[in-house]
Amino acid sequence: MEQRHLGRTGLRVSRIGLGTLTWGRDTDEHDAADMLKTFWEAGGTLVDTADVYGDGEAEYLLGRLMDGLVPRRDLVISTKAGSVPDPERRVDGSRGHLLAALDASLARLGTDHVDLWQIHAFDPGTPLEETLHALDLAVSSGRARYVGVADFCGWQLAKAATWQLAAPGRTPLAGTQLEYSLLQRGAEREVLPAALDLGVGLLPSSPLGRGVLTGKYRHTTPADSRGASEHLAPFVEPYLDDTASHIVDAVTTAADGLAVTPLQVALAWVRDRPGVAAPVVGARNAQQLTAALSVEALSLPDEICRALDDVSAPVHRYPDHDWSTL
């Protein structure tokens, strides 16, 4: 699999990443092992997790698999901290919480460092410089090799990245993670322009529109899908409207014309967008993952990309609209 640099850093990642959101909860150890081995054998390196996935079980499971299935040195492990399962305070970006969370992640993963450590969300209750100082300490102590953020909006990313570039000794942000697909192009409004300008690589989450872009929801909701899951159905439901249906139809038409699958078309589109380093794909089993990894051989023709751009174009208007054309 092709490797790409994450932002303006020396960190190289496979251009498709493996997500572990459901590991330890909906995905058992057998399926996780099959997926990790399949991913590794295909040349995949980037494995994305977080301390809150499965209440820590995703990291614990990944650590066990690295202990005997896939060599740690062959993987780029990315984890996140800052989200907390507390209804009173859903985000904690304090230095104390973040560093304690990192130590707990390392213990679960069974490793002395992670390759990429990301702040999971912006915390308005903590000074940003305190949050970012935790990133510097993680790198200077050797517990993290590179750092980034996740789910930061445009101004938050720009402020954080600029702060890290403003003084010697601070660690530049390598990456930012945000939902991005043909069904959710909000990142293009401010996050992607900021990331491109500041040298931060984008790791799109939910690049298949929470599974909707595969076309499996066109006529019904499969019984074994996330849309039929009690706790994940609300996650899928926003992308089952008429607007999404129109985009899925266009993806399906493109796939038919290219003799490939809608999944391959949707994933190739987001993988090759400017500023994107590696979409992070979550799969239910090795068969699904293999289908996603088959996109490695596909590059979309320019006319297909333009058609998909047009059919999925978000309406931003002011202040993004180019009023000089009116």
**At 17, is the secondary structure helix, strand, or coil?**
strand
Query: CA angle, corner 2, sides to 110 and 38, nearest 5?
Result: 50
Task: Tell me, yes or no, if 53 is annotated catalytic.
Answer: yes
> 296 with 42: CB under 8 angstroms?
yes
Rounded to whole angstroms, the Cα distance separating 164 from 150 reads: 16
Rounded to whole angstroms, the Cα distance separating 225 from 164 reads: 41
> 212 with 251: CB under 8 angstroms?
no
> 5 with 12: CB under 8 angstroms?
yes
Rounded to whole angstroms, the Cα distance separating 202 from 224 reads: 30
Rounded to whole angstroms, the Cα distance separating 282 from 232 reads: 13
Q: Report the C-alpha dihedral over residues 308, 311, 312, 315, rounded to 10 degrees.
A: 140
Spell out the residues 6+ positions from residue 146 whose beta carbon is closer than 8 angstroms to its own: 6, 9, 11, 115, 116, 117, 139, 171, 174, 175
Helical packing angle, 29-41 and 286-293, nearest 10°:
20
Rounded to whole angstroms, the Cα distance separating 17 from 282 reads: 9
Residues belonging to the active site:
53
